[in-house]
């Protein structure tokens, strides 16, 4: 395909931040040494790179302590590690009725095993959640509220600070799935009262696939047991997992080339500035919404007001009259516009916004897109819906 515009960025950032590929290659070409397992320069260099990446994550998300920054493969493993690590029989969890399967499936599995119970707070048709809906569901057994910072289906942001405040006041742990918000919106573990922040490196953080993190408050760090056990290169005399973090949660060899790539991506975010990234993506989204709002054949799901720049990330879901979403996505792809179609791993979201079972065509934008790119995408969309 000669011409294409990739508006499937919510799935994975493509292209990655400038320099990510080179950073990964440099790590491998320099010897790809493991950390914590050798007393030679290459091992120390890897240790330093790991330490710096923990620092970058800690700075970006205002984590309470460096050792509470633990690496994972992405949000999915981070959430599983959290749920299996802190929940006990009889515990109750609250989430939102629009969450990604990375949240719903481990909760459903734990529920099926008879270990926990969970409740879902209803969002409105735009994906907004009134924090009071969370309060209404709290029981004496509620140990955790787990919510996404921004919907991967409609892009709507959640009032995480208000929800975090409720959790703090009620003595409940608060966890956030940052998959769609990290790298675009500021998230502060301290100010937002977050006890566990699940991070993926390959979306808004613009890094490679295969790396993410789970950042913990001291309260959550004190409770969490390891989901995966194995070698850590430390405390080798012990037959059980070491108690200190991050070792307790980091069994096995870490995805070091991916961490080297994430390290470069996080530098790029710092150089570019979150405010600039958010502003540019909000400009792109507003322009796209202005254009599609003028197409009578298109129905936008979620927030369609182009002026609502703080209430959403750069993710727009839509359907076209009389056309199956997969047919529309196929036509777009043939014309060079890459989108994602279907339920986007979040069936309950589509039940909430009334697009179940067919789902939506999802457009999601990157900092590397320009306003003319958005106009081109809108022109192509318009010509497809008008000619079919």
Interacting residue ranges for ligand PLP, rule: CB under 6 A: 74-76, 100, 102, 148, 152, 177, 179-180, 200, 212, 345
Return all residues near 50 (Cβ < 8 A) that are at least 6 apart: 35, 71, 254, 256, 259
| Structural contact between residues 251 and 225, judged by C-beta atoms closer than 8 angstroms | no
User: 99 or 247, CB closer to ligand PLP?
Assistant: 99
What token pair was written down for 364?
A: 């999601």
Q: Which is nearer to ligand PLP, 86 or 102 (CB)?
A: 102
Task: Show Cβ contacts of residue 263 under 8 Å, excluding neighbours closer than 6 positions.
Answer: 23, 49, 52, 53, 56
Closest to 319 measured CA to CA, from 334, 332, 306: 332
180 vs 287, beta carbon nearer ligand PLP: 180
Of 104, 76, 66, 60, nearest to 221 by C-alpha is 66
CB of 123 vs ligand PLP, minimal distance in Å:
13
Nearer Cβ to ligand PLP, position 197 or 320?
A: 197
Among all chains, which residue has been given the structure tokens 């991967």?
152
Nearer to ligand PLP, 10 or 384 (CB): 10
Q: Measured from the CB of residue 199, what is the shortest distance to ligand PLP in angstroms?
A: 9
Q: Which is nearer to ligand PLP, 259 or 378 (CB)?
A: 259
Count Cβ atoms below 10 Å from residue 330 Cβ, excluding itself.
Answer: 15
* C-alpha span between 188 and 340 (Å, rounded): 30
Cβ-contact 93, 105 below 8 angstroms: no
| Least distance between ligand PLP and beta carbon 57 (Å) | 15
Q: How far is the CB of 192 from ligand PLP (least distance, A)?
A: 17
Q: Who contacts 114 (Cβ-Cβ below 8 Å, separation ≥6)? A: 89
Residue the block writes with tokens 């009259």: 321
Q: Which is nearer to ligand PLP, 56 or 72 (CB)?
A: 72
Q: How far is the CB of 115 from ligand PLP (least distance, A)?
A: 22
Report, in Å, the least distance between residue 356 CB and ligand PLP. Answer: 17
Q: Tokens 């011409």 — which residue?
A: 3
How far is the C-alpha of 332 from the C-alpha of 344, rounded, in Å?
17
Q: Output the smallest distance, CB 364 to ligand PLP, in A.
A: 10
Question: In whole angstroms, how close is the CB of 76 to ligand PLP at the nearest point?
Answer: 3
Name which of 6 and 46 has its Cβ closer to ligand PLP.
6
Instruction: Answer for the pair 81, 56: CB distance below 8 angstroms, yes or no.
Output: no
Instruction: Render 210-244 in DSSP notation, one character per residue.
Output: T-EEEEE-HHHHHHPPPSS----SSSTT-SS--SS
């Amino acid at each position: 395909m000669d011409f294409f515009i990739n508006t499937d960025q919510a799935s994975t950032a493509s292209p990655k931040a400038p320099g990510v590929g080179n950073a990964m290659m440099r790590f491998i070409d320099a010897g790809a040494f493991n950390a914590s397992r050798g007393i030679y320069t290459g091992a120390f260099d890897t240790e330093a790179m790991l330490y710096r990446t923990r620092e970058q994550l800690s700075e970006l998300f205002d984590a309470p302590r460096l050792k509470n920054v633990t690496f994972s493969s992405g949000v999915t493993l981070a959430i599983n590690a959290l749920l299996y690590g802190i929940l006990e029989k009889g515990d109750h969890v609250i989430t939102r009725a629009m969450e990604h399967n990375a949240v719903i499936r481990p909760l459903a599995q734990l529920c099926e095993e008879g270990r926990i119970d969970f409740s879902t707070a209803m969002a409105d048709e735009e994906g907004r959640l009134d924090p009071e809906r969370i309060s209404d569901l709290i029981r004496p057994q509620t140990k955790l509220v787990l919510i996404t910072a921004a919907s991967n289906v409609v892009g709507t942001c959640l009032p995480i600070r208000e929800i975090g405040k409720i959790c703090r006041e009620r003595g409940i742990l608060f966890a956030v799935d940052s998959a769609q918000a990290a790298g675009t919106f500021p998230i502060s573990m301290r100010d937002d009262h977050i006890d566990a922040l699940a991070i993926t490196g390959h979306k808004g953080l613009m890094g490679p696939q295969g790396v993410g993190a789970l950042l913990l408050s001291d309260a959550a760090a004190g409770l969490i047991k390891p989901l995966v056990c194995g070698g850590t290169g430390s405390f080798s005399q012990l037959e059980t997992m070491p108690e200190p973090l991050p070792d307790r949660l980091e069994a096995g060899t870490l995805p070091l080339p991916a961490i080297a790539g994430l390290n470069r991506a996080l530098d790029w975010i710092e150089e570019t500035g979150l405010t600039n990234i958010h502003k540019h993506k909000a400009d792109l989204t507003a322009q796209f919404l202005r254009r599609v709002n003028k197409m009578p054949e298109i129905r936008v799901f979620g927030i369609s007001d182009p002026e609502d720049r703080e209430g959403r990330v750069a993710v727009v879901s839509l359907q076209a009259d009389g056309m199956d979403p997969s047919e529309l996505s196929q036509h777009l792809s043939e014309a060079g516009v890459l989108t994602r179609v279907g339920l986007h791993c979040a069936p309950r979201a589509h039940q909430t916004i009334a697009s179940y079972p067919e789902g939506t065509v999802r457009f999601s934008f990157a900092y590397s897109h320009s306003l003319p790119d958005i106009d081109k995408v809108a022109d192509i969309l318009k010509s497809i819906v008008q000619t079919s």
